[in-house]
A = this chain, B = another copy of it.
């Protein structure tokens, strides 16, 4: 219970913005201005227009844009470079938004960020075209600004995001989904874009290849920690504040790390398979969910997931150790510690 409470209080969704404070409000404002400029649209009075307005005035946490700027701080501090980083940070956030909008179509998701999702509020129609419009704008501005190298990294991340979502869909309700498959899926869903943020920040600010690769690996570690924490959050009973029902993943047949680790333990399969079957049949009761949660905890699934998070934490800290020290590297260290805090 103690673990759950702490997890909730320090949930990625809640604490991340504060932690990314290494980037000033003014810098974030500059990124938002580019998002506003890049999402100006001719769809006034339509659902798609409303969606795009929502996107432009996004009160999102801007984690990915901040990560671009933080990685960019390891290179040249020239005005023109900084401006390019703001533009790329804007494009990255738009990429993230487009992916959320399209994911919600597939998931038939009623809620996103505690508010009705685009597809439930405006229909799949608006959601498809709002996502497509954002993607066409991303392409247009990347090419207009000649940001080809970074643009290729972003395009490849989008490809990996598609692969992750498709992989996850294929693994749904599969009792025998492996931990490797889970890792591949979250790599696509979350890690790929985190890594891309660090890579383009480093690349555009002129970091050498060694530093670029280190930052890229750092972004990867952060992405895994972020997603694994998010998956653990599904094990928090009272998550009304984040607009998600507990164990939504399990109900939807998405078996995350705690469940998979518990299943690998002696007796795990026998104990957990009945609940997996019932999730596939759609006959899970509240009591089933409680029992499943107890089994996962008893078999060490939660601790195991934390161990995995700590492995990535260690790797991320080693990278930071080897990078030049700065205010930003200290801040990144804080983020990593917080993400690793049980």
Contact = CB atoms under 8 A, between A and B. Distances in A.
Interface of A: 42-43, 45-48, 102, 105-106, 124-126, 128-129, 131-133, 135-140, 142-144, 146, 148, 151-152, 154-156, 158-159, 162-163, 165-166, 169-170
10 contacts: A46-B166, A46-B169, A129-B165, A132-B162, A135-B136, A136-B155, A138-B139, A139-B142, A144-B148, A148-B148
B136 A143 contact: no
From A102, A156, A159, name the one whose CB has the most chain B CB atoms within 10 angstroms: A159
Nearest to A48: B166
A132 B158 contact: yes
A43 B166 contact: yes
B129 A166 contact: yes
Contacts of A148: 143-144, 146, 148
A152 B140 CA distance: 5
A106 B124 contact: yes
Nearest to A157: B136
A13 to B, nearest CB: 25
Which residue among A48, A132, A162 has the maximum number of chain B CB atoms within 10 Å of its CB? A162
Q: For the complex formed by this chain, how many copies does it contain in all? A: 2
B140 A42 contact: no
Given A143-B143, A163-B43, A136 B158 contact: yes
**8 pairs of A and B residues whose beta carbons are closest in the complex:** A140-B155, A136-B158, A143-B148, A139-B155, A129-B162, A139-B139, A143-B151, A133-B162
A137 B135 CA distance: 12
Contacts of A144: 148, 152
Nearest to A149: B143
Given A135-B135, A143-B151, 12 more contacts: A43-B166, A46-B166, A48-B162, A106-B124, A106-B128, A128-B128, A136-B156, A139-B154, A140-B156, A142-B143, A143-B155, A144-B148
A155 B155 CA distance: 14
Contacts of A135: 132, 135-136, 139, 158
